Amino acid sequence: MFRLVLERPDAQKEVDEVIETASGDLKRPILINGRKLTLQEQQQRVEQLVKDPKALRKSLKDKNQDAARSQQLLKMLPDAFIFSYGKRRGDLVQLKCTPNPHFRPPNREGAVFHAMAGSLWVDSKQLRIAEISGHLLHKVKFGGGLLGHLDEGGEFDVKQAEVASVIGN
């Protein structure tokens, strides 16, 4: 179980509780734009999940695709960036990253990496990425801009934090 905070460019913010199951993730909104959902609104969301097993299957499929995409991106990191040590916060070590000029992006995600600078915070005790953030140094066009684009200065920030310790391993 984890808590997911989504902040969209249109200033909407949603906080969800997510329970991972073998059949898919159950997502329950807790706050939408700072407003707690009423008990009735929460019950309606749960009933929708129960009545529509397709949504749960879609959630599982999306999760599997996201996991595969994440693995592909992680494998690309060492080639896409040049790293240097930054600050230290307890067990967290900052790795500053800038684009590797010799990197040849194999796909759209790689093209975004090639236009990005930022930092990774690595938990040296748990040997995992705790945070990754970055910004685009220049505009990235897909299909000459016909399929889409990302503007210079665009930012992202992903943090992983323990919500609750696992009891009784």
Better-predicted residue by pLDDT, 138 or 26 = 138
Average pLDDT, rounded, for the chain: 82
45-77: buried (b, 16+ CB within 10 Å) or exposed (e) per residue?
Answer: eeeeeeeeeeebeebbeeeeeeeeeeeebeebe
What's the pLDDT tens digit per position in 121-157?
999 998 888 998 999 998 888 777 777 778 888 888 8
Task: Name 98's Cβ contacts closer than 8 Å, sequence gap at least 6.
Answer: 81, 82, 84, 117
Q: Where are the domains of the chain?
A: 78-163
pTM, 2 dp: 0.61
What's the pLDDT tens digit per position in 52-65?
777 767 777 777 78
What's the pLDDT tens digit per position in 72-82?
888 888 999 99
- Write down the pLDDT at residue 167: 47
DSSP code at position 143: G
